[in-house]
A = this chain, B = another copy of it.
């Protein structure tokens, strides 16, 4: 009964200082504008006194745009509570760029999900510092850009990346086992919009070769972590983690092999949360709405 043609669906995410009346004001605003709330979830960080809310709502008038909503809500509600907030056209499809190196498992997984219709995105291009995976891009009919990176070309590569991202109007970037450090310029241009997959249960085993370190330490469980890229290596806000049991019978090679499934699932789950605007970043942590 929701989803009729001509209906406008918005997703609104809000954070601000915790105050009385925010929920009532926001939901009343939607009601008064002939909207119907189909989802509300909120969270209060009591330690820091911060309020978070995510709303989904429908408006019957097809002429009521997200920018109309934006102006009205800002004036009537957001200003009063000094909100940081965003509104999204729920049904708009974001544009995602993929950065890869030589490992293909996450790439195959993402492209399979994309072709199956599971990931509601556009993928305007795949970029890589190696040519190894070009064939896969061709197989799935996605443009592939080879952007080699060496100490000499590092700055040039960054500019080329920025140019590609602009040219294709990219909303967010996914590092599908991309084995290069992201330069500050890219992080600044895409804050909380570059999603990485790290092959350990962070904060254990930061940096290179985490499966080797896990093997050395003799852990009984290994993990994978997807996070937004920030300046400090593997220290950005965690979006999703998962783990699997291992034992003394597993060699490093086995850990790597078992870890591939974790990496694929954790990364694709993080991508889905991001696409559905379920993630809010605050104090280097995430709120992931249900």
Chain B residues whose CB sits within 8 angstroms of the CB of A136 once the complex forms: 115
Please tell me if the beta carbons of B260 and A118 are within 8 angstroms of each other in the complex: yes
Q: Tell me the smallest distance from the CB of A217 to a CB of chain B, in Å.
A: 6
Interface 9-mer from A70-78, A181-189, A198-206: A198-206
A264-290 contact mask (Cβ, 8 Å, vs B): 1 or 0: 010000000000000000011111101
Please tell me if the beta carbons of B218 and A285 are within 8 angstroms of each other in the complex: yes
Q: Answer whether residue A238 sits at the interface, using C-beta atoms and an 8 A cutoff.
A: yes
Q: Answer whether residue A27 sits at the interface, using C-beta atoms and an 8 A cutoff.
A: yes
Give the oligomeric copy count. Answer: 4
Chain A binding site: helix, strand, loop or mixed by DSSP?
A: mixed
Contact for A203 among B49, B217, B248, B260, CB less than 8 A: B217
Contact for A248 among B43, B204, B219, B251, CB less than 8 A: B43
CA distance A198 to B22 in the complex (A): 41
Interface 9-mer from A28-36, A61-69, A83-91, A168-176: A28-36
Chain B residues whose CB sits within 8 angstroms of the CB of A150 once the complex forms: none
Q: Tell me the smallest distance from the CB of A260 to a CB of chain B, in Å.
A: 7
Chain B residues whose CB sits within 8 angstroms of the CB of A115 once the complex forms: 104, 108, 136
Binding site for B on A (CB under 8 A): 1-2, 20-21, 23-24, 27-28, 30-31, 36-47, 49, 104-105, 108-109, 111-113, 115-116, 118, 136, 139-140, 201-205, 217-221, 223, 237-243, 247-249, 251, 257, 260-261, 265, 283-288, 290
